[in-house]
Amino acid sequence: MAALFFYGTLQHIPLLEIVLGRSFGDIKISNDQLRDHVVLAVAEGPFPCIEAAPGQFAAGVLVEGLSARDIDRLNFYEGSFAYDLREMALVSGHKALVYFAHANHWSAVGPWSLNRWQAVWGDLSCFAAIEVMDYFGRYSVDQVAKMFPMIRTRAAAMVNARQSRHGGGTLQGRVEIDRIDRVYTNYFALNEYHLSHERFDGTMSDVLDRAVFVASDAALVLPYDPQLDRVLLVEQLRMGPVARGDRAVWQMEPIAGRVDPGETPAAAARREAWEEAGISLQSLEPVAEVYASPGDSTEFFYIYVGLADLPDAVTGVNGLASEAEDIRSHLLSFDALMGLVDRQEAANSPLVIAAYWLARHRERLRLRPPGAKPDVT
């Protein structure tokens, strides 16, 4: 049996249990310290590293009674973050293995707080760890490391789901999940659920097989200039129309992008407006919070209308080269936008939703005094 000293996120007991794949049982946990070291936050993520620091003490927990399989699971989880084990002597006199980052891999930026991490990142990290450990024995550490940014984004969506506003008046029934098979994972994922659910008559259904496309949350914003009474749309190649065999695979749509972990949907909308169209939004008007296709996808949309100055010179080709984006922007008058929608030439559902919302609220927005307080920060 082995002993490890944890100074970072694995002090969080729910996360440690997920990584180990079991409750503690015969495992012993006690507070301890590592002399002449300090725990520091890193710029690349909400987790710490440990560095030599004469005269200082790194606080953490000593975990004793770990099996060889426990160590294998821990190495798989920590390996994707570029950490290796070293044996160290602790203040208590115990010897324990400690995870140290690869040399020059992370950029230390200052003190790290376990309490703050638990409050801000604890739940998200637990959701991410569930998916990571599902790949134990199936994928290499390097493969998981490449997928990890999207794993965290999917985990962030699960955290956001706890704050959903909808559901009033619907059945709050039981759902019993027999098992989940992950059929595919990369940028997106495809899960097969085997579950039964409560029926409206109070009985339980048979076990059903249902496939679900697992995606991230997305923020979408339709920029609108109330003074010039026009909107900005972006155009780019879309894979849905390509795969469907649509004759029109370049689509007109609002600005859109995924909501990154730790980012609010409103902040994502503002960031994407700059990245995709080079515009700064003055304020955001919330339009809708909706599933893209609740029958078979987790993808969830936060839709806004964003007030902005839209002069003639604002159009062009933008997008991040790092994401291979090639995005062209267009200015349309409000009447031209509604004509597009009325003729059913707008194939993007968030665009249609935002257009109808704008039709309802346009007069209020046009009468809004310059410099009015934003509705959403």
For residue range 39-60, list pLDDT tens digits in order. Answer: 999 998 899 999 999 999 999 9
Same domain, 237 and 108: no
Same domain, 226 and 263: yes
Asked if residue 163 belongs to a domain, the reply is no
Per-residue confidence (pLDDT) for residue 370, from 0 to 100: 59
Q: What is the CATH number of the domain that holds 329?
A: 3.90.79.10
Same domain, 242 and 224: yes
Torsional sign, CA 315, 319, 321, 324: negative
Asked if residue 358 belongs to a domain, the reply is yes
Among 163, 194, 214, the domain-final residue is: 214
Q: Contact at 8 Å (CB) between 274 and 232?
A: no
pLDDT, the chain, mean: 93
The packing angle between helices 141-161 and 68-79, to 10°, is 80
What's the alpha-carbon Rg for the chain, to the nearest Å?
25
Mean pLDDT for the stretch of residues 333-361: 96
pTM for the predicted model, two decimal places: 0.88
In the chain, what percentage of residues exceed pLDDT 70? 98
Same domain, 206 and 279: no
Asked if residue 80 belongs to a domain, the reply is yes
Q: What angle do CA 182, 185, 190 make, to 5 degrees?
A: 55
Amino acid at 19: V
Domain that holds residue 204: 175-214
Same domain, 232 and 358: yes
Distance CA 374, CA 236 (A): 29
Asked if residue 165 belongs to a domain, the reply is no
pLDDT tier at 102, thresholds 50, 70, 90: confident
Look at residue 1 and tell me whether its pLDDT is greater than 90: no
Same domain, 66 and 187: no
Look at residue 344 and tell me whether its pLDDT is greater than 80: yes
pLDDT tier at 34, thresholds 50, 70, 90: very high
Paired sense of beta strands 175-185 and 283-291, if any: unpaired
Catalytic positions: 323
pLDDT tier at 84, thresholds 50, 70, 90: confident
Look at residue 251 and tell me whether its pLDDT is greater than 90: yes
Distance CA 346, CA 338 (A): 9
Look at residue 19 and tell me whether its pLDDT is greater than 80: yes
Look at residue 205 and tell me whether its pLDDT is greater than 60: yes
pLDDT tier at 36, thresholds 50, 70, 90: very high
Per-residue confidence (pLDDT) for residue 3, from 0 to 100: 94
Among 214, 236, 268, the domain-final residue is: 214
Same domain, 235 and 205: no
pLDDT tier at 373, thresholds 50, 70, 90: low
Mean pLDDT for the stretch of residues 307-313: 95
> Out of 10-14, 69-73, 295-299, 372-376, which region has the weakest mean confidence (pLDDT)?
372-376
Same domain, 24 and 107: yes
Distance CA 334, CA 356 (A): 11
Mean pLDDT for the stretch of residues 97-114: 90
Same domain, 331 and 351: yes
Among 134, 166, 199, the domain-final residue is: 134
Look at residue 316 and tell me whether its pLDDT is greater than 70: yes
Per-residue confidence (pLDDT) for residue 343, from 0 to 100: 96
Mean pLDDT for the stretch of residues 21-35: 90
Distance CA 70, CA 88 (A): 19
Q: Which residues pair with 5 in a beta bridge?
A: 62, 98
Asked if residue 164 belongs to a domain, the reply is no
Asked if residue 200 belongs to a domain, the reply is yes
Give 114-144 pLDDT, tens digit per residue. Answer: 999 999 999 999 999 999 999 999 999 999 9
Q: Contact at 8 Å (CB) between 343 and 318?
A: no
The total domain count for the chain is 3
Asked if residue 350 belongs to a domain, the reply is yes
Asked if residue 123 belongs to a domain, the reply is no
Q: What is the CATH number of the domain that holds 28?
A: 3.10.490.10
Same domain, 325 and 189: no
Same domain, 109 and 250: no
pLDDT tier at 375, thresholds 50, 70, 90: low
Same domain, 363 and 225: yes
